[in-house]
């Protein structure tokens, strides 16, 4: 069972994987529960293991190496909240599907997984219910594939800029799950990102967005996709960024080593 978060409220969970690639240097805060994948080659097994840990957390804050594992956190939070809203802050749309993706990269399909647009991509052991598109607020998403942009435009996903006021205006009174991919941060401030997306909001602005969400909504769970290259995942600058983002959510982390 997860130990209490360092701030006495958040339960810290770490999944040191990018898809099915283990990230050995991914930093693990003191007191965090580390999710081990029993079959590293199978993402479904990792997601099931993550869901089992999230299920025991009162208020899960997941630090992960990718976006798709968020489906495990959402599936478990759905068991507690019928009307969950998802705030997704990302440089990318994550709205590709196997049919329209130009690269086939599964990490670019994470929101589509949540909304039921990728049937059969994973097994159904999580019991994930499709999240209504209108219940997803997508902030930034400045880097889109052409077909992905068309799919988003035709969807009911609510797109907003990564600005505190815009995010606050889009949120309702119900329970909120916050997902942040670090690549939303301006590339000049983010050395070592797997998928840098050029100019964008500053780290300080993203901190303001997270703080605004927490101040104006009932945040019941959060997820930081720490998508750095493996050799940068545990370096000092990456840890400092993760510390600032978790602090903006109201959590204080202490690093080992």
Of the candidates 126, 235, 223, which has an alpha carbon nearest to the alpha carbon of residue 182?
223
Is the residue at 256 inside a domain?
A: no
Is the pLDDT at 1 greater than 50? The verdict is no
Is the residue at 106 inside a domain?
A: yes
CA–CA separation, 35 vs 136, rounded Å?
Answer: 26
Give the model's pLDDT for residue 120.
85
Is the pLDDT at 5 greater than 50? The verdict is no
Tell me the pLDDT tens digit for each residue of 46-98.
999 999 999 999 999 999 999 999 999 999 999 999 999 999 999 999 999 99
For residue 179, give every residue at least 6 positions away whose Cβ sits within 8 Å of its Cβ, in sequence order, or none: 67, 70, 86, 87, 88, 89, 90, 222, 223, 225
CATH number of the domain within which 126 lies: 3.40.800.10
Report the predicted TM-score, pTM, of the whole model to 2 decimal places: 0.91
Q: Which domain holds residue 41?
A: 11-248
Give the model's pLDDT for residue 7.
53
Is the pLDDT at 142 greater than 50? The verdict is yes
Is the residue at 221 inside a domain?
A: yes
Is the residue at 130 inside a domain?
A: yes
Give the model's pLDDT for residue 38.
65
Tell me the pLDDT tens digit for each residue of 176-191.
999 999 999 999 999 9
Give the model's pLDDT for residue 122.
85
Is the residue at 79 inside a domain?
A: yes
Q: Residue 225, SS3?
A: strand
Give the model's pLDDT for residue 173.
87
Is the residue at 253 inside a domain?
A: no
Is the residue at 254 inside a domain?
A: no
Is the residue at 72 inside a domain?
A: yes
Count of domains for the chain? 1
């Amino acid at each position: 069972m997860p130990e209490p978060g360092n701030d006495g409220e958040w339960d810290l969970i770490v999944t040191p994987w990018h898809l099915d690639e283990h990230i050995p240097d991914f930093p693990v805060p003191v007191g965090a529960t580390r999710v081990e994948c029993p079959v590293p080659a199978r993402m479904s097994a990792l997601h099931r293991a993550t869901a089992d840990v999230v299920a025991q957390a009162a208020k899960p804050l997941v630090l992960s190496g990718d976006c798709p594992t968020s489906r495990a956190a959402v599936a478990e939070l759905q068991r507690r909240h019928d009307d969950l809203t998802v705030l997704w802050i990302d440089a990318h749309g994550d709205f590709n599907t196997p049919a329209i993706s130009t690269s086939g990269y599964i990490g670019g399909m994470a929101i589509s997984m949540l909304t039921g647009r990728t049937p059969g991509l994973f097994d159904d052991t999580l019991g994930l219910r499709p999240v209504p598109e209108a219940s997803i607020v997508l902030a930034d998403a400045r880097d889109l594939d052409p077909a992905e942009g068309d799919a988003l435009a035709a969807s009911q996903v609510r797109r907003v800029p990564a600005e505190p006021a815009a995010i606050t205006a889009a949120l309702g009174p119900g329970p909120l799950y916050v997902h942040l991919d670090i690549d939303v941060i301006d590339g000049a401030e983010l050395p070592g990102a797997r998928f840098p997306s050029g100019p964008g909001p500053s780290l300080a602005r993203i901190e303001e967005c997270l703080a605004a969400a927490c101040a104006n909504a009932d945040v019941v769970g959060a997820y930081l996709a720490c998508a750095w290259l493996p050799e940068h995942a545990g370096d000092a600058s990456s840890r400092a960024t993760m510390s600032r983002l978790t602090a903006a959510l109201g959590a204080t982390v202490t690093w080992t080593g």
